[in-house]
């Protein structure tokens, strides 16, 4: 017992654990905002790049689609040199027709709203 008492006393006299470092709230918030901005920029870049692996096979693409119901569509699909007319429902995909003569692919034009908005934004950029 006499030998345990000095050990207990020396154990009690050990220096206390170091105080935790001070947390700087502004630095923490700035770091958090930087990480969030980085995530948003990377998401925007991935959306803009439209990588081929995400888009799918380039030999197969939807030329045109027509909505005929809430979840029903008719699709004109280009597969290689052939065009297929497909009926698509929530539970089924049916071949409606195989076109003998392929229809020309529509020319992609910007909608009127997008064109006008682009002009306004360019004009605003020039005036600044």
Kindly state the DSSP code that residue 23 receives in the 8-state scheme: P
Strands (E) located in 1-128: 60-67, 73-79, 82-88, 93-99
Average pLDDT of the residues in 22-33: 89
Q: What is the pLDDT of residues 38-88, one digit of tens each?
A: 999 999 888 887 665 555 557 888 888 899 999 899 999 988 889 999 999
- Split at pLDDT 50, 70, 90, the class of 115 is confident
Radius of gyration of the chain (CA): 33
Tokens encoding 116: 């006008």
18 or 59: whose pLDDT is higher? 59
Backbone angles phi, psi at 51, to 5 degrees: -60, 145
Kindly state the DSSP code that residue 59 receives in the 8-state scheme: T
pLDDT of residue 36: 97
pLDDT of residue 42: 93
């Amino acid at each position: 017992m006499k030998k345990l008492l000095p050990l207990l006393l020396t154990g009690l006299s050990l220096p206390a654990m170091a105080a935790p470092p001070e947390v700087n709230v502004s630095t923490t918030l700035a770091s958090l905002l930087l990480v969030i901005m980085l995530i948003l920029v990377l998401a925007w870049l991935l959306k803009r790049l439209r990588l081929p692996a995400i888009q799918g096979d380039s030999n197969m693409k939807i030329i045109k689609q027509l909505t005929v119901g809430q979840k029903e569509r008719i699709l004109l699909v280009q597969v290689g040199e052939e065009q297929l007319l497909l009926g698509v429902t929530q539970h089924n995909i049916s071949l409606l027709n195989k076109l003998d003569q392929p229809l020309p692919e529509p020319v992609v034009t910007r909608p009127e709203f997008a064109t006008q908005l682009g002009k306004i934004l360019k004009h605003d950029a020039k005036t600044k």
